[in-house]
Amino acid sequence: MRHGRSLPIPAGGFFGFSIRVPPASELDSLTAAELKDLVLGLLAEVAALKQTVAAQREEIAWLKGMKGRPTIKPSGMEPTTAPPGTKPTRDKPRRGKIRPRVSVEDHTLSVTAPVGSRLKGYETYLVQDVILSVRAVRYRRERWVTPDGQTVIAPLPPGIDGHFGPNLRRFVLMLYHQGQSTLARVIALLRSIGVAISERQVQRLLTERHDAFLYEARDVLRAGLASAAWISVDDTGARHKLANAFCTQIGDDRFTYFATRATKSRLNFLDLLRAGHTDFVLNQNAFDYMRERGLPTALIGQLNGAEVKYFADRPTWLAHLNQLGIDVAEKPGQAVIQNPTQLATEGALWGSIWAHGHLRGSVVLSDDAGQFAVGQHALCWVHAERLVHKLDTFTDRHRAAQQRIRSLIWDFYADLKAYRANPDRRRRTVLRARFDRIFRRRTGFVTLDRLLTRLWANKGELLKVLDRPEVPLHTNGSENDIRCQVTRRKISAGTRSDQGRDCRDAFLGLAKTCGKLGIAFWDYLGSRLGAPDAVVVPPLPELIRCRGQPA
DSSP 8-state symbol, 495: B
Residue 173: other Cβ atoms inside 10 A:
25
Quick one: DSSP state of residue 37? H
- Rounded Cα distance between 259 and 369, Å, is 17
Which pLDDT score is estimated for 529?
94
Q: Would you say residue 517 lies in a domain?
A: no
pLDDT at 211 (0 to 100): 96
d(Cα 482, Cα 315) in Å, to the nearest integer? Answer: 33
- Distances from the Cα of 469 to the Cα of 104, 367, 418, angstroms: 45, 18, 10
pLDDT at residue 274 in the model = 96
Last residue of a domain, one of 68, 94, 114: 68
CA distance 413 to 155: 63
C-alpha to C-alpha distance for 296 and 344, rounded to whole angstroms: 10
pLDDT tens, position by position, 257-281: 999 999 999 999 999 999 999 999 9
Domain assignment of residue 188, yes or no: no
Kindly tell me the burial class for residue 52, based on how many C-beta atoms sit within 10 Å of its own C-beta (0-12, 13-18, 19 or more). Answer: middle
Q: Which amino acid is at 432?
A: R
Contacts of 331 (CB under 8 A, 6+ apart): 339
CA distances from 338 to 230, 335, 503 (A): 31, 5, 37
- pLDDT digits over 27-80, tens only? 777 888 888 888 888 888 888 888 788 878 877 876 766 665 556 666 778 777
Nearest Cα to 220, choosing from 531, 548, 484?
Answer: 548
Q: What is the pLDDT at residue 34? A: 81
Q: How far apart are CA 541 and CA 551, in angstroms?
A: 18
CA-based R_g, the chain, Å: 30
**Which residues in the chain show pLDDT less than 70?**
1-25, 62, 64-74, 84-96, 328-338, 549-551
- pLDDT of 4 reads 40
Task: Flag whether 48 is in a domain.
Answer: yes
pLDDT at 335: 56
Please indicate, yes or no, if residue 544 is contained in any of the structural domains. Answer: no
Residue 337: the pLDDT is 59
- pLDDT score for 56: 83
Contact predicate 389/75, CB 8 Å: yes
End-of-domain residue from the set 467, 502, 525: 467
| pLDDT score of 85 | 63
Residue 420 falls within a domain, yes or no? Answer: yes
Residues with Cβ within 8 Å of residue 387, at least 6 apart in sequence: 451, 455
Asked if residue 300 belongs to a domain, the reply is: no
Q: Which domain holds residue 398?
A: 381-467
What pTM did the predictor assign?
A: 0.82
Please tell me the predicted confidence (pLDDT) of residue 2. Answer: 40
Mean pLDDT of the chain: 88
Q: Could you give the number of structural domains in the chain? A: 2
Asked if residue 443 is part of any domain, the answer here is yes
Residue 50 lies in a domain: yes
